[in-house]
Amino acid sequence: MIKKITVITGHYGTGKTNFSVNLALNAARNGEKITVVDLDLVNPYFRTADFRELFAENSIELVAPDFANSNLDVPSVQFDLGYLAGQDRKLIIDVGGDDAGAFALGRFSDVLNSYGTELDMLYIINQRRNLTENSGDAAALMYEIETASRMKHTAIVNNTNLGCETTADIIMQSVGFAKEVSDKTGLPVACTTCREELCELLDIPDVFPVKVYVKPLWEL
């Protein structure tokens, strides 16, 4: 069961969009009315707007900037998150990477923060991603995102992976890293993601099985 609003942030390439897609599909299949908001105004690739047809098949509403999936690079938002939050649907907001992507979120911080305990802001970490391989750098980036967005994270999601080269050992080794980030930030680790076919090989708590929807061109 997800809260009224779930905001997904993190470093570039940590897997925010793939996690957002899986979270939305799981919630929809459990009977939730879901709206996914593509708030990535930084990266034109690997965005939730790429999954419009998949969402439509699962009765998930998608809201994205008009320029998404075009050759335009226009950092503007043509929708009102406050209005969307007031609808009888739950929101999953996929935010652009780092503090640069989080500035757009800051525009709506007052209305989102007003939801209090009905708001989750999840920080996605990936130990195998450049510039956040150590817990200190990962924690520092999290605080930069909070400053830019004027919002506070509520939990951490360990999404450590190496794409198609991910093994159960890689995920197991990342558990200590996630705990270090948790200790440094004071936030709980909500879950550790794992490709469905690897989950039975893991003996760790709070595993969140995922399918890989977001793939680089060389894995398609």
- pLDDT tens for each residue of 130-143: 999 999 999 999 99
Structural domain containing residue 22:
5-219
The pLDDT assigned to 28 comes to 97
- CA angle 59/91/137 to nearest 5° reads 125
CA–CA distance, 149 with 103 (Å, rounded to integer): 5
The pLDDT assigned to 75 comes to 47
Residue pair 89/35 in contact (Cβ under 8 Å)? The answer is: yes
CA–CA distance, 10 with 68 (Å, rounded to integer): 20
- CA angle 55/16/202 to nearest 5° reads 100
Range list of H helices, the chain: 16-29, 52-57, 81-85, 98-106, 109-113, 135-149, 168-185
Beta bridge partners of 61: 35
The model's pLDDT over 57-67, given as tens digits with 9 standing for 90+, comes to 999 999 987 65
The model's pLDDT over 167-181, given as tens digits with 9 standing for 90+, comes to 999 999 999 999 999
Structural domain tally of the chain?
A: 1
The model's pLDDT over 67-96, given as tens digits with 9 standing for 90+, comes to 544 444 444 556 788 899 999 999 999 998
pLDDT of residue 217 exceeding 70, the answer is no
pTM, to two decimals? 0.92
- Kindly report the CATH number assigned to the domain that includes residue 199: 3.40.50.300
Tokens at 75, concatenated: 């950092």
